[in-house]
């Protein structure tokens, strides 16, 4: 049995990681400041975890949190492109300064490995598809810049201090517990909850933009593999975590119509600043080094997610 620290355990991805680790008999400690995380996400597992309400910007709290920990899964962030465009300083503090704090604390506590929630947004709007890890990053939004800067810090801590770090570039992770309520929420959480309430979802832009939407179980699996892969395969490296297939927003809307029986049409709004047009991952590096392959495809993931919101709403 190993001890894991999850930063951002109140978030959709952090709380999913916690559930999965608990079901495998692992020990879970978690921190969250509930700036974007939610109490409801951890309420059910609250008694099974060592939970500390803390901000990753609080270095002392991070030192405490890392004590006796084997693996850190660093998920805490302000995860929004448009929010970062409005507040680049806040994005940088949470997404860069926070990461450096976590790394310092993990280094000092002699943690075995830190796995980081990096982002596909680092690639930006490069025309080349699929995106692979050897491409030169081209971040557009402050959020993307911050996520990329933290990736570099991950690599730096491996090179300078020998702390084993792995960055997982998530491609549009979705699934149960993703918060649909903020204007910055992920598109699938927003579309699904709107359509189940018989409300009209809004497409920003022409709806031809595409994403490699990735069901949460695939991201959880990638984190577990990233902890356990031999250091020679994983440490100091960056990996895409995705499915290797892209769908447009219009296609996605139609698939959701079939699942939810929503009869209306989407509304259209202006394209978002900082948005990118197409996103598709090459997942062969993660397959080669981590043994990663997607466990749940897009259709199945959509079905499961709609089922979950149906029950939760």
Alpha carbon 79 to chain centroid distance? Answer: 8
In this complex, which beta carbon is closest to ligand UD1, that of residue 203 or of residue 222?
A: 203
Q: Which of 65, 71, 77 is nearest to 105 (CA)?
A: 65
Does residue 249 belong to the site contacting ligand UD1 (CB under 6 A)?
Answer: yes
State yes or no: residue 131 binds ligand UD1 (CB under 6 A).
Answer: no
For the chain, strand residue ranges (E) read 3-7, 27-32, 50-53, 71-74, 113-119, 164-170, 173-174, 202-204, 210-211, 214-215, 237-241, 247-248, 267-269
The continuous run of DSSP H or E covering 218 comes out as helix 216-228
Is 276 among the residues that bind ligand UD1 (CB under 6 A)? yes
Catalytic residue among 4, 143, 153, 170: 143
Q: Which of 272, 285, 293, 304 binds ligand UD1 (CB under 6 A)?
A: 272
Identify which of residues 15 and 172 has a Cβ nearer to ligand UD1 in the complex: 172
Cβ atoms of 246 and 280 closer than 8 Å: yes
Nearer to ligand UD1, 52 or 272 (CB): 272
Shortest gap between Cβ of 112 and ligand UD1 (angstroms)? Answer: 26
Nearer to ligand UD1, 72 or 77 (CB): 77
Ramachandran class of 27: left when φ > 0, alpha when ψ lies in -120 to 50, beta otherwise? beta
Residue 108 in 3-state DSSP?
helix
Nearer to ligand UD1, 51 or 309 (CB): 309
Q: At closest approach, how far in Å is the CB of 286 from ligand UD1?
A: 16
Site string for ligand UD1, 66-85 (x = CB under 6 A): -------------xxx----
Structure tokens at 77: 């962030």
The answer to the question of residue 187 lying near ligand UD1 (CB under 6 A) is: yes
- Please say if 161 is a catalytic residue: no
Binder to ligand UD1 among 202, 265, 273, 297 (CB under 6 A)? Answer: 202
Per CB under 6 A, 121 contacts ligand UD1: yes
Q: With binding defined as CB under 6 A, does residue 279 bind ligand UD1?
A: yes
As a whole number of angstroms, the distance between CA 14 and CA 8 comes to: 6
Q: How many CA atoms lie within 13 A of 240 on its CB side?
A: 31
CB of 15 to ligand UD1, least distance (A): 16
Cα–Cα distance, 147 to 153 (Å, whole number): 10
Residue 209 as a binder of ligand UD1 (CB under 6 A): the answer is yes
Distances from the Cα of 62 to the Cα of 7, 86, 103, 125, 136, angstroms: 9, 28, 9, 35, 32
Comparison of 104 and 243: residue with beta carbon closer to ligand UD1: 243
Q: Which residues pair with 174 in a beta bridge?
A: 215
Which residue of 33, 95, 172, 260 would you call a contact of ligand UD1, by CB under 6 A?
Answer: 172
238 lies in the site for ligand UD1, by CB under 6 A: no
Active-site residues, by number, are 143
**Which positions lie near ligand UD1, rule CB under 6 A?**
79-81, 119-121, 170, 172, 186-187, 190, 202-204, 209, 211, 249, 272, 275-276, 279
């Amino acid at each position: 049995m190993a001890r894991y620290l999850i930063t951002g355990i109140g978030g959709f991805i952090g709380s999913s990681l916690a559930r999965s680790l608990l079901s495998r008999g692992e020990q879970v400690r978690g921190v969250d400041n509930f700036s974007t995380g939610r109490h409801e996400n951890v309420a059910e597992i609250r008694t099974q975890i060592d939970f500390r309400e803390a901000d990753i910007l609080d270095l002392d709290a991070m030192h405490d949190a890392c004590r006796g920990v084997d693996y850190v899964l660093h998920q805490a962030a302000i995860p929004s492109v448009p929010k970062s465009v409005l507040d680049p300083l806040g994005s940088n503090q949470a997404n860069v300064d926070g990461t450096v704090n976590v790394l310092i604390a993990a280094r000092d506590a002699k943690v075995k490995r830190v796995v980081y929630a990096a982002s596909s947004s680092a690639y930006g709007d490069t025309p080349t598809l699929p995106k692979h890890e050897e491409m030169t990053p081209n971040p557009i939004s402050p959020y993307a810049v911050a996520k990329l800067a933290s990736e570099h810090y991950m690599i730096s801590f491996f090179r300078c201090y020998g702390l084993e770090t792995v960055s997982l570039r998530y491609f549009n992770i979705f699934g149960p517990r993703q918060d649909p309520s903020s204007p910055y929420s992920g598109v699938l959480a927003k579309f699904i909850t709107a359509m189940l309430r018989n409300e009209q979802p809004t497409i920003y832009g022409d709806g031809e933009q595409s994403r490699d939407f990735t069901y949460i179980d695939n991201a959880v699996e990638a984190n577990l593999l990233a902890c356990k892969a031999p250091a020679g395969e994983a440490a100091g490296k960056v990996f895409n975590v995705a499915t290797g297939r892209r769908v447009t927003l219009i296609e996605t809307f139609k698939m959701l119509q079939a699942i939810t029986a929503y009869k209306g049409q989407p509304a259209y709004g202006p394209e978002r600043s900082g948005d990118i047009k197409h996103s598709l991952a090459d997942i062969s590096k993660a397959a080669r080094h981590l043994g990663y392959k997607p466990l749940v495809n897009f259709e199945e993931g959509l079905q499961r997610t709609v089922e979950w919101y149906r029950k939760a709403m």
